[in-house]
Amino acid sequence: MPNPGRTLAVIAREARLFAYSSGNFGKALVFAGADMTILFLLTDLLGLSATAAGSLMLVALAGDLVFDLVAAALVIRLRRKGRGYRWLVATGTVPCGMAFAMLYAMPASGLHQGWLLAAAMLVFRGAYAVIDVPHNALMAQMTSDSRARGRVSGYRL
């Protein structure tokens, strides 16, 4: 005979894992929106060809590697000082949100200079890494069961 208390505990645990994973969906929407905005700025406002804009985005992707490594070092340093992943994710949302808004405000503000776009893109990608790296690292703290980690990873995708 099924145990209703155990069933509710399993549902609550899975709901918690799914809630954590849904954050990845939100991050993906923000990042994709920013990439689309950057491509629009590069091609329609700055007049770059699709090849040149794509090449710049490829270089930015390589820059993300550097940002991710710096964010990981920051996470390690702050964890040693007693600050957890959640703290870093929460505090990183403000600069990331401001940089995201700056990207969207540039066309309406008449800011079409390439160096301004590059600066805004660097600020956004750096701030995003500060949120993304610790958020992804939280998956290991959500559960100690490797099968549950697999489900969390699946929910994220």
Tens of pLDDT, residue by residue over 31-51, are 888 888 888 888 988 888 999
Q: Read off the pLDDT of residues 66-123 as tens digits, 9 standing for 90 and up.
A: 999 999 998 889 889 888 888 888 888 898 889 888 888 887 888 778 788 888 888 8
Query: Which pLDDT does position 69 carry in this prediction?
Result: 93
Q: How many structural domains comprise the chain?
A: 1
**What domain range is 129 assigned to?**
24-156
Contact 88, 78 (CB under 8 A): yes
Least confident of 5-9, 27-31, 71-75: 5-9
**Domain membership flag for residue 18:** no
**Domain membership flag for residue 14:** no
H helices present in the chain, as ranges: 4-40, 50-80, 85-109, 114-142, 146-156
- C-alpha to C-alpha distance for 88 and 77, rounded to whole angstroms: 11
**Domain membership flag for residue 65:** yes
Cα four-point dihedral sign 68, 74, 79, 83: negative
**Domain membership flag for residue 54:** yes
And the tokens for 120? 């805004």
**Domain membership flag for residue 13:** no
